[in-house]
Structure 1
Amino acid sequence: MLNQIKTFIKKRPFMSLLILFILSLPVTLHILFWGLVSIKAPKYQGEIRSDKLSSKATVIRDEVGIPHIVGEDAKSAYFALGFTMAQDRIFQMELQRRIGKGELTEIFGEKLIPSDQFLKSLLLKQTAETYANQTKHIYPEAWEQLDWFLEGVNHFLETESLPIEYTILGIKPRPFDRVDAISFLFYMGFSFAEGIKSDSLYTIMESELVGRSASELFPRYDFEQNASILESQPGIKKLAIQDPKKLNQNHTNILDQKIATKNNGKPKEITNLKQLVEFVSSLQIPIEPLEGSNSWLVAPSRSSSGGAVLANDPHIALSNPGAWYEAYIEYPGYENYGYFLSIIPFPLIAHNRDKAWGLTMLEQDDVNLYLETIEAGKYKSGSTWKELTYYKDEIKKKDGTTIPLEVAITGHGPIITEHIKGYKGRPVSLYWAHHHLENPLLDVLYKMGKSKSFQELDSASSMIGAPGLNFSYADKDGNIAYYAVGRFPILKTGNPRKILEGSTGENDVIGYVPSKNNPKIINPKNGIIVTANNLVTNQSLPGLGKPEGNWQPPDRFQRLVGILETQEKWSLEELAAIQTDSVSSFAPEYLEIVFASVKQPKTLGGKKVLEILKHWNFEHFPESQGAAVYDVFFYITLKELLIDEMGKENFEMYGELAEYWNAYRRFIRNPNSNYWDDLRTSGVVETREDILNRSIEETAKYLEKNVSASPSLWKWKHLYKIKHPHPLGVLPLIGGIFDIGPLPSSGGAEVVNNLKYKLMKEDWIATSGPSKRRVIDYGRFEESLTQLPIGNSGNLGSPFYGNLVEDYTNGVHRKILYSKNQVGEGKYRLEFLPK
């Protein structure tokens, strides 16, 4: 063989060289790629000089890459912060500003035109320009500090190598400005997916259902007890759970309803609404806004250390780099250890030696959709016709050409259907409180960071118009507090959870609950406060009544309450461990019903499913068989229950809402719901028992097909994983270099460790979860703990790229290094000096 190769080389030297070149090409490209990455690696040591600096600032990075910034004045400190963030996150910042302003097409190509059209229709750029260009701001120094921060970012652009993403996309960034920062800050306040999809799908299902009530699919908290923030905290006596036997609904004549005519509705209009939901679901936006979170507070009377404790983990879409940039910043009169959006100089979440605060999404309904009547440039509002106003902009393509864009605006808000290809229904406008209220978010964040007490923090945050947030607060004096911020809109005729008729004026927002009347808890006697995006209160708010919202399922809240009321005192380590708890709180009740209904499965697979469920401890960890079987069974039962009424497309859309989980809790408890009957069968009326028995068998089939023919391999790790996707992860050949994962992990949907996947699409890769975990104990301040999902740096050449992913996956907290003694000399040191 060797002789044959030698002969071939002698006879065909050119061909031989070509073959050798082709064979060596992957290795050559690999070396070139990583060589380029290395050249573009950030420089973490040395000196940075600039004529923008007024004095010295020092950046010391600790062993995991967290920068500790100390400036001799505010200007130098914020310049250093901007430069430092740019070292680690400049490409993320590039995406953030393009999302806020609707400029993704320019770098990603024409497939992003619909996303840009939608983002511009949200008027984020317009409202950012109005706010940033005001002649008088509440706190002028906040805007000065933003400018100093942006000078640091732009100095990085002017003097340093840009990361590999810029080379791959072939783009050169322009300098960052105020509007870049503010437009993205506004974007993070808009959870568009939930409100638009929920209202639209409710309207669709109300029209299409036969012999069924759409309200059963969208129950929110109508039937939940022990699940509201103000009334259901640990230590409060729980109300008796309603007896399922008393939930007596009419279950007769279902067979006749199978052949009944459909509900009244306009089929063409419903088809158009489906286009709206499908359009929103298909948008390609590389950064998702906040969507959930856990938070709890422990008073000194309930903590082992004798100090107040705050625990908080906001839930956001998993990504690479992650949502938060972790940093400490200090200058005369100011210090905070914070979690920043990388395009904003003030932390959204922070702590210092005096106070700590965290946040979760309030989830109140501050978004409504209206069907509009428009003729000749006017829209109907009650008995009058009013002139549309317009926002004009353009979308820039990669080749430099532009597409003009015009957004029509009614009194409710911008028309969001105008640029949906093929949409021919009535125009739909978007009402969002942000468009109608003062919303000085930058001033708020600045003042929060400077505040010295709960009263100052409360006063600052009360200026927020949108989004709705639950704030958690603890301080060195032992105070704990919860307060809701953001405004609750008051509709003239109430909020029916669906698309509203816009022409009559009867569904308009007529005011807002005064911020002073927002829900609040200060130093409660029971000593613990829990929030988890659940119903804020069962009580009426002034002028509003019981608040409406896209409340997340109560499972996490009830699990946290159930844990925290089991002992009097809690240690820092115990509270940190709770953040990675993976117990399904609804499973015991659910499975009790299942075991009473399913006595003897027909197949060996079904028997194995039942056996595994009976021995499961309700935890979701990688080796667990019960977790895999339970979550598949949960899905199969839900599908068998609803697919006949909803159809595949609506069912998948429904899976993107919190409502499916709220509804399922209600369905399982209610054997008399008409939905248990399968419309696909003729002459048979199915019961809850029938569907549960069928689902046990179908679960076995699903696991055998999608996991393993051997039940011993039905383990959570063989079905479920987590992934931190990079925007360039979709590229062929090299895309996988940027993504981190998929990785086996503990966690699941609606457990405290809330790493959620797309259930209705049978996609078991978690797409969102805790974006950081943190426990601040004022009795043991310098031992406080945190986690960051993958690390601080998004630069592929950085030693801190993906360096924390293993700790996050395994649920390992690290100590927050706060004091100068803790930080020491650090791993790297960078000095910023005037030129």
Structure 2
Amino acid sequence: MLHKIKIFIKKRPFISLLLLFILSLPVTLHFLFWGLVALKAPRYEGEIRSEKLTAKATVIRDSVGIPHIVGEDAKSAYFALGFTMAQDRIFQMELQRRIGKGELTEIFGEKLIPSDQFLKSLLLKQSAEVYANKAQHVYPEAWEQLDWFLEGVNHFLVTEPLPIEYTILGIQPRPFDRVDAISFLFYMGFSFAEGIKSDSLYSIMESELAGRVAGELFPRYDFEPNASILESQPGVKKLALNTKKNFRLDSKPTSLDSTQTQKLSANHREAKKDITNLKQLVDFVSALQLPIEPLEGSNSWLVGPSRSASGGAVLANDPHIALSNPGAWYEAYIEYPGYENYGYFLSIIPFPLIAHNRDKAWGLTMLEQDDVNLYFETIENGKYKSGSTWKDLTYYKDEIKKKDGTTIPLEVAITNHGPIITEHIKGYKGRPVSLYWAHHHLENPLLDVLFKMGKAKSFQELDAASSMIGAPGLNFSYADKNGNIAYYAVGRFPILKSGNPRKILEGSTGENDVIGYLPTKDNPKIINPKNGIIVTANNLVTAGKLPGVGKPEGNWQPPDRFQRLVGIFETQEKWSLEELAAIQNDSVSSFAPEYLEILFSSVKDSKSVSGKKVLEILKNWNFEHFPESQGAAVYDVFFYITMKELLIDEMGPEHFELYGDIAEYWNAYRRFLRNASSPYWDDLRTVGVLETREDILKRSVEETARYLEKHVSASPSLWKWKYLYKIKHPHPLGVLPLIGGIFNIGPMPSAGGAEVVNNLKYKLMKEDWTATAGPSKRRVIDYGRFEESVTQLPIGNSGNLGSPFYGNLVEDYVNGIHRKILYSKDQVGAGKYRLEFQPK
């Protein structure tokens, strides 16, 4: 046969050439692709000249690619910063401005039209234009410096090769301007998904549940003791005093009495009127395709001199954001006469959101207070009903540009509450829903704030600057060389006329309107506490009442991380830099001991061999989430299976999956496990049978074993965390066929998990065990050992595939290895690369 093929090829030489071409094509394409990548690699050495420069600036990159920028004046320093960021992140910057302005369709095609419609409906571009074009700014110098920074970015665009992503998409960038930067800054302040999904789902479930209370699915912190920032900070070795159980192991489920049933039925009928097609809103928001996600969580703790081994104040901070490639933060040092900061920047903004210098350090986490509400609106003939009057809708007009250059007109209707966000959802026929966001109703000079924070000389100055923030709500942590530590909540707390329920509000009556805001002087603060430690983890800010607000509402993240940190800090008096850094990698589930105590009191044994193995592994588990851990794999699957067995009959698959996208399911689960009398334990699918918590836990043990056998291994010895759980840093082009995988980093095994301190979260209800969000950087600044302070950056600074710093730090991140922050000139030395900027 082979002989015949040879004869055939010999008689037809063009076939031979064609086969040779086909066989060599992959190799040829490989070399062409990587050759092109190499041609587009950033140049980190040499000289840059520009007529925009007024003095010299030098950029030294250290061994891991962190730029250290020193300018002889501010203009040259910010020009160099803009150019340097563009070298590593220009494509990310391209996406950032397009997200902020709703211009993704132009480069990704018509599938992104719904995303652009929604982004434009948020009025980010409109509010950015108003802010950027104001006749007078709080700090005019901030806007000068933004312009200098953008000049550096635009100089890169016209003088340097663009990275491979531009070639693949076939696009040419236009110059960057102020509105590009500000619209994305506003976008990062809007954690829209949590509030929209949570309020909508509450309204849906309230209308659909029969014989159940929807509030049990959305308990927030109603039943959580020892979990608020102001009241629950750690002392020293007092952990044993804070472990009282607030649940009963022997209680049994009960039925609702007739009065409760009648009340639920009335609520059911009333709510049903208002949720026509509301599910489409939730599905729409869940399906949005956004290459960059806003902030969504974080840990932070401060240790005063009395509790630190070095005798200096210490700040530790790790903001949690969706994992991505490039990463969320750009790490850089910048210095010019009168100014120096080592900071973590959004790559389209010249001022760091998080930074430190020899005098002070600050970090942030999301406050999670509820500054986003949804309203059902009554609209007729271009007017909306507000109380007893009808008012004219106002409109924001824009257009969406397609890849072929044609445009789609867009008009957003606006009420007194905010923009109508359901108007452009295909097929939506329910009542219009408007979005209230504090940002639209308050002065919110975020750029001025970031500028002033970088120049602040004290806690008081930093506090005064941050108090100008209208939205988002943030927890600020502060430490300085004088030994001060401080926490303060920034962003405004809305005051609603009739209080703030956890569902979509009726907008036509005026009874649910925002009538004011908590004065910033009344925002929660902790300054130099006697216990010497301040912890935050997106948990409830206070269990008390705020003036005019009452008990604050918010999308508080589960208390597990906060309570774990409090428990750690109450075990010893003094803490070293190394110990504090190690805590950032902590992967212990703080709820697991309590959860498993309930399990083992209810389930003594299993009928099946594999079920017995589930119980055995859980009994021997140390509560940590490491790649080799069997207990982590079994526990997390058991957590999921129990939640599914508990709620799938009430919620149905679609709502159950959506429920997993918000923090409430975790809060509710803690409450359900502690409350054996909840009607939810009864399985509605088994007519005539009243299941107990014990029944569901027993069933879940068996189902857990079956799940692990099917999805991990038939052998329990291979039920390990690393075979179930991975982390991945996806690139926006990672979905492309053939070459997409080149851009993604991962998936790879890692320590960490959901709602542990090392909070690498996955989509539990979707059975997707790949972490999608987590610590976006880690750092510990110790003013007793300043030049030994440490940090982690998940994958490295560069997003340019041709850079030697592309993905260079991912192994350190996966293994939890901190590196020393090089701050002083002696520490940096000659560096690895040096780029000089000179006036032309």
TM band (smaller chain)? over 0.9
Q: 1:665 to 1:778 in 2, by over 3 A?
A: same
The reply to whether residue 611 of structure 1 matches residue 616 of structure 2 is: yes
CA drift of 1:252 comes to 2.9
Q: Residue 198 of structure 2 contacts residue 503 of structure 2 at CA under 8 Å; is this kept in 1?
A: yes
Cα distance in 2, alignment partners of residues 735 and 807 from structure 1: 24
Q: Distance in 2 between matches of 1:242 and 1:485?
A: 33
Aligned to 1:748: 753
Distance apart, 1:539 and its partner CA: 1.1
- 636, 658, 661: which one aligns with 2:663: 658
Residue of 812, 832, 836 corresponding to 1:827: 832
> Equivalent residue for 2:730?
725
State the number of aligned residues.
835
Task: Return the alpha-carbon distance in structure 2 between the equivalents of residues 797 and 769 of structure 1.
Answer: 26
Distance (Å, rounded) in 2 between the aligned partners of 1:470 and 1:395: 36
The residue that corresponds to 1:233 in the other structure is 233
Deviations 1:606-629 (CA, angstroms, capped at 9, x unpaired): 000000000000000000000000
Residue aligning to 2:146: 146
For residues 344-398 of structure 1, what are the alpha-carbon distances to aligned partners after superposition, in whole Å with 9 as ceiling and x for unaligned? 0000000000000000000000000000000010000000000100000000000
Q: Quick one: which amino acid aligns to residue 329 of structure 1?
A: I
What whole-Å deviation, never above 9, does each CA across 1:621-656 have from its counterpart, x for those lacking one?
Answer: 000000000000000000000000000000011000
Secondary structure, counterpart of 1:526 in structure 2: coil
Are the aligned partners of 1:196 and 1:369 in contact in 2 as well (CA < 8 Å)?
A: yes
Letter paired with 1:245: R
d(CA) in 2 for partners of 1:261 and 1:684? Answer: 22
Deviation (angstroms), 1:602: 1.2
Tell me which residue corresponds to 2:194: 194
Question: Cα offset for 1:501?
Answer: 0.1
Deviations 1:395-415 (A, max 9, x none): 000000000000000000000
Change (3 A) 1:268 1:24: farther
CA distance in 2, matches of 1:322, 1:704: 35
Pair 1:294-2:288 in alignment: no
Task: Describe the SS at the equivalent of 1:700.
Answer: helix
- Equivalent residue runs for 1:33-432 within 5 Å: 33-235=33-235, 241-245=244-248, 251-252=254-255, 263-265=268-270, 267=272, 269-432=274-437
Q: Give ranges in structure 2 of 5+ residues lacking alignment.
A: none
1:798-813 superposed matches below 5 A: 798-813=803-818
SS in 1 for 2:836: strand
Alpha-carbon separation, structure 2, partners of 1:763 and 1:268: 35
Q: Using structure 1 for the length normalisation, give the TM-score.
A: 0.98
Tell me the distance in 2 between the aligned counterparts of 1:252 and 1:439.
Answer: 50
- Looking at structure 2, the residues matched to 621 and 507 of structure 1 have their Cα atoms a distance apart, in angstroms, of 47
Q: Does 1:688 align with 2:693?
A: yes
User: 3-state DSSP class of the match of 1:291?
Assistant: strand
Partner secondary structure for residue 16 of structure 1:
helix
Residues in 1 aligned to 2:164 and 2:796: alpha-carbon distance in whole angstroms = 18
| d(CA) in 2 for partners of 1:540, 1:502 | 26
Match of 2:645 among 640, 649, 666: 640
2:520 corresponds, among 502, 515, 519, to 515
Query: CA 1:698 to 1:72, structure 2 compared with 1: closer, same or farther past 3 Å?
Result: same
SS of 2:148's partner is: helix
Alpha-carbon contact 2:276-2:431 (below 8 Å) kept:
no
TM-score (norm 2): 0.98
Root-mean-square deviation over aligned CA pairs:
1.6
- Give the aligned partner of residue 576 of structure 1: 581
Alignment partners' CA distance in 1, 2:196 and 2:250: 31
Distance, in Å, in 1 between the alignment partners of 2:151 and 2:185 is 18
Partner of 2:792: 787
1:485-634 to structure 2, matched below 5 A, reads 485-634=490-639
Distance 1:684 1:45 in 2: 75
> How far is the alpha carbon of 1:33 from its aligned partner?
0.3
Distance 1:804 1:598 in 2: 45
CA contact (8 A) 1:729 1:735 kept: yes
Shift of 1:239: 5.3
Kindly provide the amino acid, as one letter, of the partner of residue 102 in structure 2.
Answer: G
Q: Distance in 2 between matches of 1:668 and 1:694?
A: 15
Q: Percent identity?
A: 86
1:565-609 deviation digits (Å, cap 9, x = unpaired): 111100000000000000000000000000010111111110000
For the 8 Å contact 1:225–1:239, the answer to whether it is kept is no
Find the residue that maps to 2:19 and give its secondary structure.
Answer: helix
- Pairwise CA distance, 1:241: 3.1
Secondary structure of the residue that 1:302 maps to in structure 2?
coil
Q: CA deviation digits over 1:260-305, x for unaligned, max 9?
A: 9793146574341110000000000000000000000000111111
Q: Is the 8 A contact 2:226 2:232 kept in 1?
A: yes
Task: Give, as a single letter, the amino acid of the residue that structure 1 aligns with 2:290.
Answer: I
Counterpart of 1:270 in 2: which secondary structure? Answer: coil
Deviation at 1:8, TM superposition (A): 3.3
Q: Residue 8 of structure 1 aligns with which residue?
A: 8
Q: Tell whether the 8 Å contact from 1:255 to 1:684 is kept in structure 2 after alignment.
A: no
Counterpart residue type for residue 502 of structure 1: G
**Residue 258 of structure 1 contacts residue 679 of structure 1 at CA under 8 Å; is this kept in 2?**
no
**CA contact under 8 A between 2:780 and 2:790: conserved in structure 1?**
yes
SS in 2 for 1:185: helix
> How far did 1:20 drift?
1.0
Tell me how far 1:31 sits from its aligned partner.
0.5
Superposition deviation, residue 243 in structure 1: 3.4
Report the secondary structure of 2:713's partner residue: coil
Tell me the amino acid that sits aligned with residue 45 of structure 2: Q
Distance in 2, Cα, partners of 1:178 & 1:35: 35
| Distance (Å, rounded) in 2 between the aligned partners of 1:297 and 1:12 | 78
Question: 1:412/1:506 Cα in 2 relative to 1: closer, same or farther (>3 Å)?
Answer: same
Alpha-carbon distance between aligned partners in 2 of 1:107 and 1:783, rounded to the nearest angstrom: 44
Residues 779-803 of structure 1, C-alpha deviations (whole Å, 9 max, x = no match) = 0000000000000000000000000
Q: Give the C-alpha shift of residue 246 in structure 1.
A: 10
Alpha-carbon separation, structure 2, partners of 1:255 and 1:694: 30
Q: Which amino acid is 1:509 matched to?
A: V
The alpha-carbon distance between structure 1 residues 455 and 257, as it changes in their structure 2 partners (threshold 3 A), is: closer
Cα pair 2:376 2:508 within 8 Å, conserved: yes
Aligned amino acid, residue 300 of structure 1: P
Residue 430 to residue 136, structure 1, CA distance change in 2 (3 Å)? same
CA distance in 1, matches of 2:755, 2:257: 33
Deviation at 1:7, TM superposition (A): 2.7
Distance 1:253 1:391 in 2: 49
Shift of 1:248: 7.3
Mapped partners of 1:602, 1:723: distance in 2: 38
The separation in 2 between residues aligned to 1:463 and 1:131, in whole angstroms, is 14
Pick which of 472-481 and 254-263 moved more. Answer: 254-263
Amino acid at match of 2:548: G
**Partner of 2:477: helix, strand, or coil?**
strand
- 2:245 and 2:828 map into 1 onto residues whose CA distance is 54
Q: Secondary structure at the match of 2:807?
A: coil
Shift of 1:4: 5.0
Which residue of 2 is the match for residue 474 of structure 1?
A: 479
Instruction: Encode CA deviations 1:27-55: one digit per residue, 9 max, x unaligned.
Output: 11100000000000000000000000000
For 2:39, give the aligned amino acid.
I
Rounded to whole Å, the distance in 1 between the matches of 2:211 and 2:297 is: 34
Structure 1 portions without partners, runs of 5+: none
Q: Do 2:256 and 2:679's aligned partners in 1 also have CA atoms closer than 8 Å?
A: no
